[in-house]
């Protein structure tokens, strides 16, 4: 069974993917809101788990503190859940169960606005009955302005359990929807390989080196150097079709920057224009460096193609099935 932690971790991994992260960060404030919301959902879950698992205090003040914390934790988690869904998947419509509304109302009355709770034109005050406080819950005495006073029981443990179920359901819907969208996106480009843009690069370098070495054959180095620029342009266009630009992946961004100068100068040299390259030997060095950059860029294209060929990551990660890792601790001199 999928846990809250696994769902939360999947969403965090999703937001750290360079393609998604760039889009989310571009939203400015929404990015920070989403990051804080993820933390609050997890932190509130830890607090509520602590309420469930720890022994309930006997001291009256501590009992109140636990109740205040539990009810506020439920409220905070709901707000964070709402803002997270709105930020990470704004088109997703989540059906909220009435139990979440009931939990909010119980929080508002007991620890949110107990001295003045207004609903429409009705005003009421509320008080926790001190001697009723137990780990399971407490009695709430309410004084509506329009009716007689009423007692109602707030089952704290049950509310925590119900919200945990609902929170997991909502996160599961969000993750499932994001995975479905990611799969559709990958399928759209799965048959078109990025690496295909480099299919003639090897041949282009062969002609460049032949031209530099003044081989006794037709000099095709001008075609070779122009094809390198074409390959870069084609690769960038294919990235753009996928909603990716050169800045999305740092590895691609810095490779383009690194190869710009040697490509420019080598182009000038081959076309017999003034350049910083003083000799054929230096031109070969420039060409070798440029070839190394293209090899690394091609490897990145292969990695992206492999990602598109695969399915989006599963929610539950496979357990480690290899040999157990043994750590040996030694001390100097022993």
Domain regions of the chain by residue span: 4-118+154-185, 190-309
Question: pLDDT (tens digit, 0 to 9) for every residue of the chain, 334 residues total?
Answer: 788 899 999 999 999 999 999 989 998 999 999 999 999 999 999 999 999 999 999 999 999 999 999 999 999 999 999 999 999 988 877 777 888 999 999 999 999 999 999 887 788 999 999 999 999 999 999 998 777 788 899 999 999 999 999 999 999 999 999 999 999 999 999 999 999 999 999 999 999 999 887 654 458 999 999 999 999 999 999 999 999 999 999 999 999 999 999 999 999 999 999 999 999 999 999 999 999 999 999 999 999 999 999 988 887 654 444 554 444 444 554 4
Q: How far is it, in rounded angstroms, from Cα 212 to Cα 221?
A: 8
Residue 269 phi, psi (nearest 5): -65, -45
Label residues 69-91 b or e (16+ Cβ within 10 Å = b).
bbbbbbbbbbebbebbbebbbee
CB 304 within 8 A of CB 185: no
Structure confidence at residue 217 (pLDDT): 47
CB contact burial 152-191 (16+ within 10 A = b; e otherwise): eebebeebbebbbebbbebbbbbbebbbeebeeebeebee
Q: Token match 């698992």: residue?
A: 53
The C-alpha atoms of residue 103 and residue 185 are separated, in whole angstroms, by 38
Residue among 115, 33, 114 at smallest CA distance from 79: 33
Are 206 and 224 within 8 A, CB to CB? yes
State the pTM of this model: 0.81
**Is 4-118+154-185 CATH 1.20.120?**
yes
């Amino acid at each position: 069974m999928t846990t809250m932690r696994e769902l939360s971790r999947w969403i965090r991994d999703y937001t750290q993917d360079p393609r998604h992260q760039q889009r989310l960060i571009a939203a400015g404030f929404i990015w920070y809101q989403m990051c804080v919301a993820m933390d609050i959902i997890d932190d509130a879950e830890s607090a509520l788990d602590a309420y469930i698992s720890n022994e309930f205090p006997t001291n009256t003040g501590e009992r109140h503190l636990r109740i205040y914390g539990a009810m506020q934790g439920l409220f905070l988690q709901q707000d964070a859940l709402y803002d997270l869904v709105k930020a990470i998947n704004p088109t997703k419509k989540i059906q909220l169960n009435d139990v979440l509304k009931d939990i909010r109302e119980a929080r508002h009355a007991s620890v949110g606005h107990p001295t003045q709770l207004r609903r429409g034109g009705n005003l009421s005050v509320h008080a926790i009955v001190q001697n009723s406080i137990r780990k399971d819950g407490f009695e709430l005495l309410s004084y509506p302005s329009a009716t007689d006073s009423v007692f109602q029981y707030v089952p704290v443990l049950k509310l925590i359990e119900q919200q945990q179920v609902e929170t997991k359901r909502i996160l599961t819907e969000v993750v499932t929807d994001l995975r479905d969208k990611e799969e559709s996106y990958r399928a759209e480009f799965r048959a078109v390989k990025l690496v295909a843009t480099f299919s003639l690069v090897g041949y282009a370098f062969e002609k460049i080196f032949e031209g530099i070495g003044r081989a006794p054959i037709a000099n095709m180095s001008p075609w070779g150097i122009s094809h390198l620029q074409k390959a870069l342009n084609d690769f960038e266009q294919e990235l753009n079709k996928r909603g990716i630009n050169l800045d999305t992946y740092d590895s691609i961004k810095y490779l383009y920057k690194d190869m710009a100068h040697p490509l420019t100068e080598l182009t000038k040299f081959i076309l017999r224009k003034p350049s910083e390259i003083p000799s054929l030997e230096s031109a070969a060095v420039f060409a070798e460096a440029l070839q190394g950059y293209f090899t690394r860029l091609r490897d990145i294209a292969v990695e992206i193609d492999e990602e598109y060929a695969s399915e989006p990551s599963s929610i539950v990660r496979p357990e480690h099935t290899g040999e157990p890792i043994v750590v040996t601790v030694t001390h100097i001199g022993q």
